[in-house]
Amino acid sequence: MSARTLPLLFLNLGGEMLYILDQRLRAQSIPGEKARKDEWTDVDRKRVMNDIITTMFNKKFMEELFKPQELYSKKALRTVYDRLAHASIMRLNQASMDKLYDLMTMAFKYQVLLCPRPKDILLVTFNHLDTIKDFICDSPGILNQVDETFRQLIETYSCLSAGEFQLIRQTLLIFFQDMHIRVSIFLKDKVQNSNGRFVLPISGPVPWGTEVPGLIRVFNHNGDEVKRTEFTTDGNYVTPQREGSFDLYGDRVLKLGTNMYSVSRPAETHMSGSSKNLASHAKENTVPNILAKEEMDFLARLLGGLEVKKPGGSETGFRLNLFTTDEEEEHAALTRPEELSYKVINIEATQEPGRRAELSRILGQLEVAEPRPASSGKGEDLLALMDGL
């Protein structure tokens, strides 16, 4: 396991989260002069995006995130995304939150699988950050926060060897290996099978610095080439014209990690059979987590840097539905496997003694799963944006 994986995982999943939210908020926005008090406007959308991005790239938060550390459990990391939700006026109920997380994880899993070489995961991350900067192009203060994270990424990862990037990629694939959620966009594009597994292409550009397959060269003990043999391949390979830029600005060349929702497309998620079986047996296979205390200590440090903004005065939170109708959302909440839904956990990490006591108290709650009722109004369902990773 690589101790440098967490920042890449968090930033890429966060980027996918922002893509989805931006698309859904745009789809549900009403012109300001025509909007009722309980309807979204473009001003609301920009405020949500600015609030979440500001919190995501909080300086103290990033400092904790970039410290070398092992990757923590999915439940522990999802708690971080719960906290992020409360940085905005937007609220999701359980079913929409689950759907959002499914879309995030499957999109980034697909990008990791398709990376031509392990180092290109960094280019995927840069693509996410480039698009995030477009969301906040009229907010110089927030842009500086994102640019500072850019610099931290360059400083941290530019000196890593190919072997270290391979270990990062392997760590990410281990994290995603049991996730097989079907996504309509991937199914329609025929890049995902009905069982939730991805179809990997056998054609296209080869990794930068490598040659197109089709030639075997034989060398003698002096290193001199003595024989060449050509062979045919089933794939149609091409050599990339140039390497993507690993600088603060530049052409990334690689398109993985760009916003696939820039053209409005519905994105539905469905659990594959293997995922359902995994969920149904989750309680039977639960093993006490000997790293639970360390995870809680990690979360307390990480969450301590996040400032949660609650609606002030008479202001209420806006509800966002990731489903077509409220009825679909309610049905999804009722049919969601119990083991995949979690309580929102609020962690107060301002004082060390109180923090320890609170962490001990909520330790068992991470395993508790209770479905939440669907919300019927803009400010009634004050649930988290996402039960994170």
Of 104, 185, 125, 27, which Cα lies nearest the Cα of 386?
104
Exposed/middle/buried for 17, CB within 10 Å: 0-12, 13-18, 19+? buried
Domain boundaries, the chain: 5-262
User: What six digits make up the tokens of 22?
Assistant: 């931006």
Per-residue pLDDT tens digits for 258-272: 998 876 555 666 665
How does pLDDT run across 208-261, given as a tens digit for each residue?
Answer: 988 899 999 999 999 999 999 999 888 889 888 889 999 999 999 999 999 988
Indicate if the pLDDT at residue 297 is higher than 70. Answer: no
Supply the angle between the helices 94-114 and 162-176 in degrees, to the nearest 10: 140
Which residues are within 8 A (CB) of 49 and not within 5 positions of it... i.e. 6 or more apart? 18, 21, 22, 25, 135, 136
Where do runs of H (alpha helix) occur along 253-337?
A: 273-280, 292-304, 326-335
**DSSP secondary structure, 364-378, as one string:** GGGG---PPPPP-ST
Q: Return the SS3 of 53.
A: helix
> Which DSSP category does 312 fall into?
P
Query: What is the chain's mean pLDDT, rounded?
Result: 76
For residues 194 and 280, the answer to whether their CB atoms sit within 8 Å is no
Number of H helices and E strands in the chain, helices first, is 13, 8
Nearest to 360 by CA among 347, 341, 350: 347
pLDDT beyond 50 at 61: yes
Q: Let me know how long the chain is.
A: 389
Q: How confident is the model at residue 333 (pLDDT cuts 50, 70, 90)?
A: low
Integer angstrom CA distances of residue 208 from 119, 120, 127: 10, 10, 18
* Residue at 375: amino acid letter: S
pLDDT(193) > 90 = yes
